[in-house]
Amino acid sequence: MQVTTHEYVPFASETLVVSSTVKVLTAATYAPADVRSARYAEITVEEADLRYWKDGSTPTATAGHRRKVDTEILSLHGIHEISNFKAIREGVTDSKIRVTYFR
């Protein structure tokens, strides 16, 4: 599903290293206590491929959706997908994800 980001306003971002242990997004960043939580997020993958799930399942180096480095943006729709996103690197090289949150 194509989302036009002009429907949303970016309000936060973060860069995370995805290594050999499962990485989740930072709740204090996408759901700060004093303001409304994110409704949408865009993720780009850099440096190495990774595996991920949006439903809270735990990915492994061989299980989960595969996202190749420098491919199109990975979109997360709604707080459920954002809060349940988990990723792990696929090979021996750490991956880096850059996330922008919108509300």
The residues pairing with 67 across neighbouring beta strands, listed in sequence order, are: 50
Q: Encode pLDDT of 7-43 as tens digits.
A: 899 999 999 999 999 999 999 999 999 889 999 999 9
4 pLDDT more than 80: no
Of 101, 62, 63, the closest CA to residue 82 belongs to 101
* pLDDT at site 97: 98
Instruction: Tell me, yes or no, if the pTM score tops 0.85.
Output: yes
Owner of token pair 């949006």: 54
Q: Encode pLDDT of 59-97 as tens digits.
A: 999 999 999 999 899 999 999 999 999 999 999 999 999
* pLDDT at site 35: 86
Q: What CATH number should be reported for the domain whose range is 9-102?
A: 2.60.120
Backbone angles phi, psi at 5, to 5 degrees: -70, -10
Radius of gyration (Cα) for the chain, nearest Å? 13
3 pLDDT more than 90: no
